[in-house]
Structure formats: structure tokens, C-alpha cells
Amino acid sequence: MSEEKMNNNWKVVSIVLIVLVVGLAYFAFSGNGSQVTGNAVGVPSREAPVRTAPSVDLNSLMDDDSVEGDPDAPVTIVEFSDYECPFCARFYSQTLGQIRKDYVETGKVKIVFRDFPLSFHQNAQKAAEAAECSGEQDKYYEMHDVLFDKGVVGGVDTFKQYAVDIGLDVSEFNECLDSGEMASEVEKDFLDGQSAGVQGTPAFFINGKLLSGAQPYSAFKQVIDAELQ
């Protein structure tokens, strides 16, 4: 083989290697982009990534949103969430139930759910409005639970069926949802979350301390128990 032909072959091999390296680098950085929402984490860490300095003033996180649990509970969890976010659904299905059992039902923790619908989730905004409209009939968390249990596929028509399922005054609910009456309430939650430093969902403030992402129960227990001491 001539020296010129060998040089040409090495050039081809070099180009192929460069393309492979660039391709691998691209997928390493962007491969999960369709699933990760802001601060949400794909794999919960063993330790809770709590930002304690500075803590966010709890009063600034509170609105007139529905409260689950004893209003006088010593620990408050403010959750910023999106009903279409897969990591928010993971928290709901894998962690919330244990928190409710161990801390909410025992009067140690109250939960305040605030809306943070992400723009690329088609049904998240109206799902948040549906929950707020249900809150007008004192069934906020009933709608909250069914939205996570059954999902948001189908949008407004689905939410209207959920209203029937949980026993709402359907005409009142439909009027609230169709009019966009709660859109400003959802927007206020979103803006308050941004002001507090929320960049993705789910995000939790436990007595003002940030716990970010779909963390396991052990991470919440660590922070809650420290607050109760």
C-alpha cells in the first residue's frame, strides 16, 4: 500500500472517531432532556440536597392555597408541582402516602400545594385550574389525588369527568373551568415559585428549606425530623 493511500485511510479513521466522540458527548448531555423538568431529578440521591442558607421566608411562600393537615402543625411543606410532570407523579405515588401517614395524620406536618405548570406540558395549566376550581367546593385534594392517580390525558373533558367522579356540583365546576376564573391564581403560584428560586418540578420548601426533585421518603424524613427537634 502506498504511503499516500495509508495517509488517506488514517484521515478517514480520524474523522469517524471524531464524529463518534461528538455524538456520544451530545447524547450524554441531552439524552434525558425529554424527561427532566428543571430541578427534577431522574434518580433520587441518598442525601437530601437541602439549601439552608439562605432559607426562604415561609410567609412569602404561603398564599390562600388549600392546606392538607392541621393548620397549626409545626412543620409546613410547600410543594410547587405540575400535574403533568412525571417526577411529580413519582413523588405522589412513591413518597407522599408515607408522609401523610407518618406526619400529616399525626398533626406534625401540613402540606400546601402550589401550582407550577410548565409551558411544554399541554394539559398542566388547565389541570391546575381544575384543582383550584375543586377547591372552591372544598375538594381541592380530592381533585389533586385523582389528577395524579388517573392522569391528565384528555384535558378539560377528562377533568369534567373527574368532577363527576368526586361528587362536585358539575355545573359550577364547569363554569369555573371554562371561564378561566382560576388562571390568575395559578399564575400567582407560578410567579411566587419563580421568586423563591424554583426552576423545575417538583420543588419543596420544608419550613423554608429547599428540597429539590423527586426525592425518596428518607430525604423528607431527614429534614422533617430535624425541624421537629
Is it true that domain 50-228 has CATH number 3.40.30.10? Answer: yes
Residue 6 has pLDDT above 60, yes or no: no
Asked whether 108 and 75 are in contact (CB, 8 A), the reply is: yes
Residue 19 has pLDDT above 90, yes or no: no
The residue with greater pLDDT, 48 or 160, is 160
Residue located via cell numbers 409551558: 119
Residue 22 has pLDDT above 70, yes or no: no
Residue 23 has pLDDT above 90, yes or no: no
Express each pLDDT in 63-115 by its tens digit: 778 899 999 999 999 999 999 999 999 999 999 999 999 999 999 999 999 99
Vertex 142: Cα angle to 136 and 145 (nearest 5): 130
What whole-number distance in Å separates Cα of residue 127 and Cα of residue 112? Answer: 17
What whole-number distance in Å separates Cα of residue 32 and Cα of residue 42? Answer: 9
Cell numbers of 1, please?
Answer: 500500500
Express each pLDDT in 175-207 by its tens digit: 999 999 999 999 999 999 999 999 899 999 999
Q: What is the model's pTM? A: 0.76
What whole-number distance in Å separates Cα of residue 96 and Cα of residue 144? Answer: 12
